Amino acid sequence: MARFSRMQVLGAMYDISLVPVFFSPDIDVAKNVACAVSRGGCKLLEFVNRGDHGYEVFSELERIMAKEDPSMILGAGSISDPYTAAMFLNCGANFIVGPMLNAEVAKICNRRMVPYSPGCGSATEIANAQELGVEICKVFPGEQVGGPKFVKAVIGPMPWTKIMPTGGVKSTKESIGEWINAGVAAMGMGSELVTKELLSKKDWKGIEENVRNTLALVKEAKANKK
């Protein structure tokens, strides 16, 4: 069962506005990355379902973080069907993210009062997700569907819409500023934060610094939003 309520998770997404995205089949690596992200000031982590037995790694990671860093909010990403969603929900996922909208995933998340952020690439898909109770829609792939201009264009006639782009968000002042000014609620960021180079070196301090610096850019962009 999720350790955090739906409102707590959504509140954290709005406040922090950054959701690091990561996968490793190695529980020790996963633990170190999660701890580094937390030390960097971000209390959200999307563990993507990209490999065999991914839910087992997630389950162990959730057990570890519940004891060692109970403030950390772990969610599961790359969830495409309700059966996989159910496995991760039963392992304690506090939010579910998918590459596309699946009505059955939305229903099972609603039954468990867990936030669901499906990937959407059009105003119609976003509206359909909202009808299913989605609060924050993931725009995916963010850059390919139109980037910040797409977000701004959608929010114009649909100002109640909350969007989280993943793909195309870079850890730079310019990129983050563009997305924030377009009106995003949060941003998903993977290899920009948890780089292959840092992972290969097991440079947990480097990941921590990446997160801390990126959060500073997010805070600055929100403070100076046009």
**pLDDT tens by residue, 115-158:** 999 999 999 999 999 999 999 999 998 889 999 999 999 999 99
Q: Which amino acid is at 20?
A: P
Contacts of 174 (CB under 8 A, 6+ apart): none
pLDDT for 43 beyond 90: yes
Task: Name the more confident of 167 and 107.
Answer: 107
Closest CA to 2 of 55, 61, 74, 69: 74
Residues 180-192: pLDDT tens digits? 999 999 999 999 8
pLDDT at 226: 82
Strand-pairing partners, residue 97, are 117
Residues 78-115: pLDDT tens digits? 999 999 999 999 999 999 999 999 999 999 999 999 99
Banded pLDDT at 51 (limits 50, 70, 90): confident
Contact 41, 211 (CB under 8 A): yes
Q: Which class in CATH covers the domain with range 6-219?
A: alpha beta
Contact 204, 36 (CB under 8 A): yes
161 alpha-carbon distance from chain centroid = 17
Closest CA to 78 of 118, 101, 48, 105: 48
pLDDT for 210 beyond 90: yes
8 alpha-carbon distance from chain centroid = 14
Average pLDDT, the chain: 97
**Side-chain-side CA neighbours of residue 172 (13 Å):** 6
| Both tokens assigned to 56 | 């087992």
Domain boundaries of the chain, sorted by first residue: 6-219
Banded pLDDT at 160 (limits 50, 70, 90): very high
Unique residue bearing structure tokens 């973080």 = 65
The Cα 181–Cα 166 span in angstroms is: 16
Banded pLDDT at 74 (limits 50, 70, 90): very high
pLDDT at 136: 98
Residue 165 φ then ψ, to 5°: -75, 145
Contact 153, 175 (CB under 8 A): no
